[in-house]
Amino acid sequence: MSESIARLRFAPSPTGLLHIGGLRTALYNYLLARQLGGAFVLRIEDTDQKRFVEGAEADIFRSLQWAGISIDEGPQEGGPHGPYRQSERRDVYREHAEMLVAKGAAYYAFDTEEEIELMRARYREAGIESAGYGVRTRGEMRNSLTLPVDEVESLLSQEVPHVVRLKVPAGRTVQLSDLIRGDVSFESDVIDDQVLMKSDGLPTYHLAVVVDDHLMNITHVVRGEDWLSSTPKHLLLYEAFGWTAPKMAHLPLILSPSGGKLSKRNAEKMGIPVTVRQYVEAGYEPDALVNFLALLGWHPADDRELFSMDDLIRAFDINRVGLAGVQFDLDKLNWFNQQHLRSLTDSELASLGRPFVEEKGYEVSDAALESVAALLKERITFARELADVTYLFADPAAFDAKGVKKRWSIEAAERLTWLEAHLSSLSNEQWTASTIHDEAEKALLARDVPLGKVMPVFRLALTGETSGPELFPLIEYLGRDTVVRRLRNAPALIGTSPE
Write out the catalytic residue numbers. Answer: 264
Closest by alpha carbon to 328, among 297, 305, 359, 306? 297
Is 198 a residue that touches RNA (CB under 7 A)?
A: yes
DSSP 369-408: HHHHHHHHGGG-SSGGGGGT-GGGTS--S---HHHHHHH-
Q: Are 475 and 438 in contact (CB under 8 A)?
A: no
Q: How many whole angstroms separate alpha carbon 295 and alpha carbon 436?
A: 46
Helix count and strand count (H, E) for the chain: 20, 11
Is 299 a residue that touches RNA (CB under 7 A)?
A: yes
Is 55 a residue that touches RNA (CB under 7 A)?
A: no
Is 226 a residue that touches RNA (CB under 7 A)?
A: yes
Is 155 a residue that touches RNA (CB under 7 A)?
A: no
- Number of amino acids touching RNA (CB under 7 A): 81
Is 361 a residue that touches RNA (CB under 7 A)?
A: no
Residue 58 or 323 having the CB closest to RNA:
323
Q: How far is the CB of 235 from RNA (least distance, A)?
A: 13
Q: How many whole angstroms separate alpha carbon 30 and alpha carbon 46?
A: 21
Question: In a 3-state reduction of DSSP, which class is residue 176?
Answer: strand
Q: Of 70, 269, 470, 495, which one interacts with RNA (CB under 7 A)?
A: 470
Plot region of 16 (φ>0 → left; ψ -120 to 50 → alpha; else → beta): left
Is 221 a residue that touches RNA (CB under 7 A)?
A: no
Residue 75 or 132 having the CB closest to RNA:
132
Q: Of 122, 269, 332, 360, which one interacts with RNA (CB under 7 A)?
A: 332
Q: How many whole angstroms separate alpha carbon 264 and alpha carbon 252?
A: 18
For RNA, the binding residues in 258-297 under the rule CB under 7 A are 259-261, 295-297
- Across-strand partners of 251? 224
Q: How far is the CB of 293 from RNA (least distance, A)?
A: 10
Residue 37 or 171 having the CB closest to RNA:
171
Is 186 a residue that touches RNA (CB under 7 A)?
A: yes
For RNA, the binding residues in 388-427 under the rule CB under 7 A are none
For RNA, the binding residues in 230-259 under the rule CB under 7 A are 230, 252-253, 255, 257, 259
Q: How far is the CB of 263 from RNA (least distance, A)?
A: 8
Q: How many whole angstroms separate alpha carbon 7 and alpha carbon 43?
A: 12
Q: Of 72, 140, 239, 305, which one interacts with RNA (CB under 7 A)?
A: 305
For RNA, the binding residues in 421-450 under the rule CB under 7 A are 450
Closest by alpha carbon to 391, among 431, 352, 360, 413? 360
**Rg for the chain, CA atoms, rounded:** 33
For RNA, the binding residues in 476-495 under the rule CB under 7 A are none
Stretch that binds RNA, among 130-138, 270-278, 422-430, 479-487 (CB under 7 A): 130-138
Question: In a 3-state reduction of DSSP, which class is residue 450?
Answer: coil
Beta strands 39-42 and 247-251: pairing type?
unpaired
Is 360 a residue that touches RNA (CB under 7 A)?
A: no
Q: Of 79, 283, 456, 491, which one interacts with RNA (CB under 7 A)?
A: 456
What are φ and ψ of residue 34, in 5° steps?
Answer: -65, -40
Q: How far is the CB of 23 from RNA (least distance, A)?
A: 15
- Across-strand partners of 261? 255
CA 159 to chain centre: 45
Stretch that binds RNA, among 190-198, 352-360, 383-391, 409-417 (CB under 7 A): 190-198
Q: How far is the CB of 49 from RNA (least distance, A)?
A: 9
